[in-house]
Amino acid sequence: MTSSNDTSAPLVSIVGAGPGAADLLTVRALRRLGQADVVLYDNLVSAEVMALCAPDATLIYSGKKYGDHVDPRQRQQEINEAMVAYARQGKRVVRLKSGDPFIFGRAAEEIRYLTAQQVPYEVVPGLTAGLAAASLVHIPVTERNHSNAVLLCTAHTANYDFEQLDALANMLRTGTTLVMYMGLSNMPQVVAKLQAAVGPDAVYVSAISHVSGSQQRLVTALLPDIEAALAQAALPMPVVFIIGKYACSLDEAAAHLHSLS
């Protein structure tokens, strides 16, 4: 693999664009965007980040939108082939993914393809939206004497079998925090199954829309009430969810305590 400091050889850089705000990019990601001849970018990469690409770079949309009905295998194959084709032309290629490439970003599939084609590559980490959201709205996903673990998952939680749901419920009851991606459309099923699993225990759900952007919004409710709260708020996608006994903003908790005093 080519060193991350080598700017001379043809190289594919799989770059994490972070949650959206340009000033949350890593320094290396910013450097790679400025060096790139070709940028293949995903749907959720913000316009603010795209504006940092080199002025003469070729920008190729390679994203997926909810409900677009495009065959994901065909789309992925086209992305893989494009990365290799441009790299073999001697061009510096950035495969730009929202968040972090290795967190629900399909980077592993692309790396296997690049490896099979013997094309040098690197991975530039990015700040994943779920953890960025927690920090930005002041929800500690781990805290001494409260939550000692965090689990990143998707809304496929709704399809877990009983054994898996029981394990998740036990984790929630003991303080583990769930950070859930791609859950807005499946939230009714997720809520129903988690509620059945956790029983009467108080579990908070915080939904954060447009993480780090000017349109960022936060909605928090207890598990049985989150669907009504979401319907009232009409949050736009993308939304990430933080679920747990302590998945409530420190600001809201402080306001609640103040109201009781």
Residues annotated catalytic, as ranges: 42, 64
Asked whether the beta carbons of 15 and 29 are under 8 A apart, the reply is yes
Residue burial 156-173, b: 16+ Cβ < 10 Å; e: rest? ebbebeeeebeebbebbe
Q: At residue 48, what is the residue type?
A: E
